[in-house]
Structure 1
Amino acid sequence: MSAGQAREPGEIFGPRMTLFADVLSVGVCTALASLPVVTLPAALSTACAVLRGAGEDRPATAGRYLAVLRRRLRAGDLAAGVLFLVGVLLLWADLALARAGLPGASLFAVVAAAIGAYAAVVGLRSCGRPESLTDWRAAVGGAARDSVRDVGGSGLVLLALAAAVLCGWMMTPLAFLAPGPLALALTAVDVRLSPRAARADALQEGAAAFDKESA
């Protein structure tokens, strides 16, 4: 067992079990903070930020979650929540029209579902980006780029969302715990991509500098 994972005297569980408990407590706070619906993006973004801090030796506790959330419920966060709600209602209306048996309904349903899935990936990846704490526009722009260049990560996001929805559907009490693992998955996908993006940017800058010197 490494020094970073060593247990304190009298400690029964290791740090991984402690992090698991923190994820669940943050998940409960996220679910409760999301009940007004328009606060869902801010609540999930805060959960991702708090869990990201666990990798930087900052506590990922319910208390820190609530402290961060209180500082950031701004007009931009509520506007993001309104856009989320409008998008969900539009998708629901489109799928309802497709089920009504209109001509071309099958193709329309497939297109609507694909657009909805892409919008969900971008929205969720936006919450996982640190920019979402202060600038939703920058977070959405970065998430849109990541969704295209990191298809594997986008697939993982959809799987995490499906698992969270399935857990809530199978057993309602789990819906209050599911946001925690979902936020952890979104954070992990973004952290996983960051070193690769940094290396790609460095390679592009190096190639541009080489081309400039050659000219």
Structure 2
Amino acid sequence: MSTASDQASGRREPGELFGPRFELFADVLAIGLVTAVACLPLVTVPAALATACTLLRRRQRYAEPCTAGHYVRALRARRRRADLTAGGLLLAFGALFAADAALATAGLPGAVPFALFLATAGTALAVLALRACAQEEAADNWPAALRAAARNTVRDLPGSALVLLALATAAVCAWVLPPLLLLVPGPLAAALTAVERRVSA
């Protein structure tokens, strides 16, 4: 049996068929699948993604199991009222953004600069929301997670660019091959966790 230090370093013990990195890949795919299912009500998207980031972070730090069962238990243990509030605000912002986007494409005067502003604001808010889900504070304090995410978004511009690249990659993969939509939350959560881990390191 491999130890936590072996798993953290990626070493493979004699006789092992698959190394820890291959196991991490399998865990990321499993977490992606259960996260996609947990996101189906839409209002649960922040909590689902934050739970995935928490499990992947604890796996990296403490070599804890990262299975679907652990995910479900961790999701049930969250503060549901705060999570639903965060999800409701996310849906409200999404609806407002969609309405503004419809107005920007309606051919009204000033539509082009407004569309550019809307794209810039939407990109910044998407990065902020994703980085908030990867914060440790997202487990029980969404306002603190948003403050930490806003600070990191501004101070760590390369990390914000990596988050945006991860989101774009996930979107392209899901668009090219729609069944991948059930798996992309896992790699996305892994990318978010790695970016925030990079900041703390």
- Shorter-chain TM range is over 0.9
Greater C-alpha radius of gyration? 1
1:78/1:16 Cα in 2 relative to 1: closer, same or farther (>3 Å)? same
Question: Residue 27 and residue 73 in structure 1: after superposition, are their counterparts in 2 closer, same or farther (change >3 A)?
Answer: farther
Gaps of 5+ in 2: 1-5
1:185 & 1:103 partners in 2: Cα distance?
Answer: 40
Change (3 A) 1:142 1:13: same
**Paired residue for 1:128, among 97, 119, 134?**
134
Residue 38 of structure 1 aligns to a residue whose secondary structure is: coil
Q: Which amino acid aligns with 2:68?
A: A
User: Which residue identity does 1:168 align to in structure 2?
Assistant: A
Number of corresponding residues: 195
Rate the CA distance shift 1:67–1:4 in 2: closer, same or farther, 3 A: same
What is the rounded CA distance, in whole Å, between the counterparts of 1:158 and 1:105 in structure 2?
A: 25
Q: Is the aligned partner of 1:19 residue 2:32? A: no
Matched position secondary structure for 2:131: helix
TM-score of the pair, normalised by structure 1: 0.87
Indicate conservation of the 8 Å contact 1:48/1:187, yes or no.
yes
Structure 1 CA distance for aligned equivalents of residues 41 and 155 of structure 2: 33
Q: 1:2 to 1:166 in 2, by over 3 A?
A: closer
Tell whether 2:33 aligns with 1:40. no
Kept in 2, the 8 Å contact 1:44–1:179? The answer is yes
Q: Give the structure 2 partner of residue 79 of structure 1.
A: 85
**Unmatched tracts of structure 1, length 5 or more:** 196-215
Deviations 1:84-140 (A, max 9, x none): 111111111111101000001000001011111111111000000010001000000
CA contact (8 A) 1:42 1:73 kept: no
Paired AA for residue 54 in structure 2: A
Percent of aligned positions with the same letter in both sequences?
Answer: 54
Q: 1:170 to 1:3 in 2, by over 3 A?
A: closer
State the partner residue of 2:199: 193
Residue number in structure 2 paired with 1:98: 104
